A = this chain, B = another copy of it.
Amino acid sequence: MSTPQTRRKTRTDAERNRDRVLQAARVLFAESGHDVQMSEVARAAGVGIGTLYRKFPTRDALIEAIAEHRATDLVAAARQLTDAEDPTQGLAGFLYHVGEVLAGDRGMSEVIEKVMGSAEPRGQTREALLAVVAELLDRARVRGTVGQDVTAGDVNMVICGLAAVIRNAAGDWRRYIEVTLDGLRTR
C-alpha cells in the first residue's frame, strides 16, 4: 500500500564509513572519555565531519550508540556468570569483569557511574544491566556469598564507586573490589 519501494538499499560505502566512525569513536572514547571532539573522531575515522554527522546527528547520539553496544556486552557477560557454578564467579566475577572493562575504557566508566548512580530508567539495555546485576545478587545471596540483607541498591553503589575509583586512577581497583566484597559478605 504505502511502500513506494523505489528506494535503493543503503550504499555500501555508506555502511563502511559508518563502521569506521563507530570503530574510531570506540577507541577514542575508550582512551580519553566522552569529551573528545567530533572533528577528532571524524579525522580518526578518515571521514569528513559532514559524513560523521549524517551517521550520527548529534554528539550524544554517537556516545549513546557506543554506550548501548558496550552495555550489551556487559549484560552478556553477566548472563554467562549467572549460569556459572563456580562461586568465584557470580557477583564477584562480574565485579572484576566490570573493573577490567572500565579500566580499559574511560568513556564506559563515565557511563557506568551514571547508570549505577542515578535512578533514571534510561534505555532498555541499562534496564537489562540493572536486572542482571540483581539476578547475580540473588544467586550470591542464596549461596551465602553475600549477606542476607544486601540489596541491589547496595551493589549498584559499590559499582558506581568502582567506576569513580577507576576513572580517577585512584589506586588498585582490584583492592577496592576486595574490600567492598568483604563488606557485602559481612553484612
Residues on A lying within 8 angstroms of B by beta carbon are: 113-114, 116-119, 153-154, 156-158, 160-165, 167-173, 175-176, 178-187
**Which residue of B172, B180, B181, B183 is within 8 Å of A153 (Cβ)?**
B172
**Interfacial chain B residues near A183, Cβ < 8 Å:** 178-184, 186
5 closest Cβ contacts across the A-B interface? A161-B161, A117-B168, A183-B183, A164-B164, A179-B183
Please state the number of chain copies in the assembly: 2
Contacts of A182 in B (CB 8 A): 182-183, 186-187
Please state if B164 and A176 are interface contacts (CB–CB under 8 Å): no
Question: What are 11 contact pairs spanning A and B, CB under 8 A?
Answer: A117-B169, A117-B170, A154-B179, A156-B171, A157-B179, A161-B165, A178-B183, A182-B182, A182-B183, A182-B186, A183-B184
Q: Are B161 and A160 in contact (CB under 8 A)?
A: yes
